[in-house]
Chains A and B, each alone.
Chain A
């Protein structure tokens, strides 16, 4: 349901 938020959370904190 929160596709974008999921992706942002999975990205590494480079």
Chain B
């Protein structure tokens, strides 16, 4: 178990960095080259109209499925973070229950084109208009704004990998059984990030990244608020056709 005793040797930190970068690359759902190549493949007027004509429950279900696919890649990422599988299953679930959506939102900035404010969805790039029938305009604007702000940091894939792991390994989550262990994991990840930023001569990024955490938390609670609003109007839909993993995480 790499966390007993608690090495802080540089070799350990560099090995930890490499392992997290590899985990991110192996579980990133869309390759960066693929996204870059498709960035100008936009939805046509007719395709946009088709999305906007979906009923609210159809669009909610469709987006819940897409979100759940993204979350599954984040679960695989978590499993590959050294020490994560050494945690008790309840703590692994506690970290993922809130952290998975946050990592999805961080990763979304890889799929975002700031030049025309579009996001990669269903194989093409679309604006917030694409999601009009969800009835969650404020949430979508907030999510797109967040993507813009993360893109503005121009993170490398390695930096995004480290930041994603820090978002996930959060010792402040309520109901953790072994908070100390999560804290020790988190400390080594923080050392990794500052080591990496020093190497990249971008130490100012550290503070900007930590500032993103509170925005992430507000986006996640806004999502849960919207889900609550939707499931009151369509309780059967959520119960019968929403992905089971989505329900486990968010209801």
Contact = CB atoms under 8 A, between A and B. Distances in A.
Interface in B58-93: 72, 75-76, 79-80, 85, 89, 92-93
Contacts of A9: 75, 79, 85, 89, 92-93
Given A5-B96, A9-B75, 11 more contacts: A2-B97, A2-B248, A3-B248, A4-B244, A4-B248, A5-B248, A5-B249, A9-B85, A9-B89, A9-B92, A13-B80
Indicate the size class of the contact surface on chain B: 10 to 19
Interface in A1-14: 1-6, 8-9, 13
Contacts, number: 30
B99 to A, nearest CB: 12
Contacts of A4: 244-245, 248
A8 B72 contact: yes
26 contacts: A1-B248, A2-B93, A2-B97, A3-B244, A3-B248, A4-B244, A4-B248, A5-B75, A5-B93, A5-B96, A5-B97, A5-B245, A5-B248, A5-B249, A6-B89, A6-B93, A8-B72, A8-B75, A8-B245, A9-B75, A9-B79, A9-B85, A9-B89, A9-B92, A9-B93, A13-B76
A8 B76 CA distance: 8
A2 B175 CA distance: 15
Nearest to A9: B92
Nearest to B246: A4
Interface string B83-111: 00100010011001100000000000000
Contacts of A13: 76, 79-80
Contacts of B92: 9
Contacts of A5: 75, 93, 96-97, 245, 248-249
Nearest to A8: B75
A6 B79 CA distance: 12
Nearest to B244: A4
Nearest to A1: B248
A5 B76 CA distance: 11
